[in-house]
Amino acid sequence: MSDPGTKRRGRKRADGEGTLYFDAKRKLWIGEVMVGYLPNGKPDIRRTTARRQDDCKAKLEDVKGKASGGTLPPREKARDTVAAFLDRWVETVRPSLRASTHKRYADIVRLHLKPWLGRHRLVDLKPDHIQGFYSGLLMTINPKTVDPEKPGSGKPYSPRTVHHCHAVLHRALDRALVWGYVSRNVAEAVDPPRVPRAELLLPSLPELATLLDVAKAADDRLAALWTIALYSGCRQGELLALKWDDLDLNEGALTVRRTLVGAKGGVPSYGEPKTAKSRRTITLAQEAISALRAHRVTQNAERLALGEGWSDFGLVFTSTIGTPLDNRNVIRLFKRALARAGLPDTVRFHDLRHASATIGLAAGTDLKTTSARLGHSTITITADLYTHAVRSLDVEAAARIERVLRGAV
């Protein structure tokens, strides 16, 4: 029988087996395991902590499993937070993206992903963290929807915004997987909310005509912008990047060559059009040409009055000093134009593009021509977006076939 006063000697643990002990001062269970050696020759010891022994042991087993499977990130990568990784990633992908796309990614990272998920270590990010983020965002008021003059106004972020966040996060974590920072893309285990397909509720033809007529009568500085948007179907960024050199008013042609990404210090920043087919030339109606001629007269008067203070970038639609128009100001001025015409403020500037396509299709313009004018990458996109208008064309086609077949007049 051994002496009770002697210290009992335990067996020596093998390398890679790890150890588990309780820190009474911090009230934490701590697990440690050596997974190899650092470049300086010192042991690479990884540590896990948890309030419960079972949780700490599970974390330790996870580290050991990744180490044996070759998927354990190097020590410097294991310390990375989601925020630090996203900052590096969003700069890394800049050369492969259009300027406007990169800006959208950077905004999503800055406004949503970092505030909600940035504090987590990248290797500790779990599906439930992401699911909680999506649920929380759907209950958070979008500041852009708040009217300062109406207390309590504002709407939560939409499922579409959550979908955009999911797409960016998924792409970033895919890169983290390739780079060896994580062993799997945890965003694949999370389903974003379903995005309901919004029905296009566009102003009627008389309402659109009233919008243009009232803007013209009121000497609205941007009356030509509303007119060109409706007649051309161009995207807002394409119109705000439009230069006088892109117009041939004698031939009635508008050529899209670029899109406005932003304007820092009043200096425009341009990007490539959205798709290869977005580089296009569009024929303008006489009303649109007349609106542009009148707009040029007004702009020349502003330029002469301001003299050297005018910032000349050759842009068609500018501020009162020649600098590019800010998106928020365009929206604000468009809402004023709607109010003058008695139209609801739920109408969006982008709805003028939808209206242009719908009116053209209803008037008998074929789908291919409409798709080309809009700059869609494929005709399928046009057909999917404007199913209601395409359906009316199909009904008319059936009637035409019957008239020809039966010799009806």
Q: What is the per-residue pLDDT for 16?
A: 60
**Over the stretch 200-251, which tens digit does the pLDDT of each residue have?**
778 989 999 999 999 999 999 999 999 999 999 999 999 999 999 999 999 9
202: nearest Cα among 332, 373, 357, 395: 357
Least confident of 2-6, 130-134, 359-363: 2-6
Q: Give the pLDDT band of residue 1 (cuts 50, 70, 90).
A: very low
Mean of pLDDT values over 96-109: 91
328 pLDDT higher than 90: no
Q: Of the given ranges (56-60, 148-152, 156-160), which has the lowest mean pLDDT?
A: 148-152
SS3 of residue 392 by DSSP? helix
* pLDDT score, position 37: 76
Tokens of 397: 């086609």
Given a cut of 70, is residue 319 above it in pLDDT?
yes
Backbone angles phi, psi at 178, to 5 degrees: -65, -40
Q: Give the whole-angstrom CA distance, residue 96 versus residue 101.
A: 10
Query: Taking the model in full, what pTM does it have?
Result: 0.69
Stretch among 31-40, 292-301, 319-328, 344-353 having the lowest mean pLDDT = 31-40
Closest CA to 266 of 302, 225, 319: 319
The reported pLDDT for the residue numbered 84 is: 93
pLDDT of residue 153 exceeding 70: yes
- pLDDT attached to residue 397: 66
Q: Tell me the pLDDT band of 270, cut-offs 50, 70 and 90.
A: very high
Least confident of 162-171, 226-235, 284-293, 398-407: 398-407
Give me the chain's average pLDDT, please: 88
> Average pLDDT of 176-201?
85
What is the pLDDT at residue 12? 47
**8 Å CB contact between 164 and 134:** no
DSSP 8-class letter at 278:
G
DSSP secondary structure of 320-373 = TTSPBPPHHHHHHHHHHHHHHHT--TT--THHHHHHHHHHHHHTT--HHHHHHH
Residue 307's region, left for phi above 0, alpha for psi from -120 to 50, else beta, is left
Write out the two tokens for 346.
């739920």
Instruction: Note the pLDDT of residue 395.
Output: 65
CA-nearest of 312, 348, 297, 306 to 144 is 348
Distance CA 250, CA 247 (A): 9
In sign, the C-alpha dihedral spanning 137, 143, 145, 148 is positive
Q: What is the pLDDT of residue 181?
A: 83
User: Residue 194: which H helix or E strand, with range?
Assistant: none
d(C-alpha 187, C-alpha 174), whole Å: 9
Q: Which domains does the chain have, with CATH numbers?
A: 19-72 (no CATH), 82-189 (1.10.150.130), 205-397 (1.10.443.10)
| Confidence tier at 385 by pLDDT (50, 70, 90) | confident
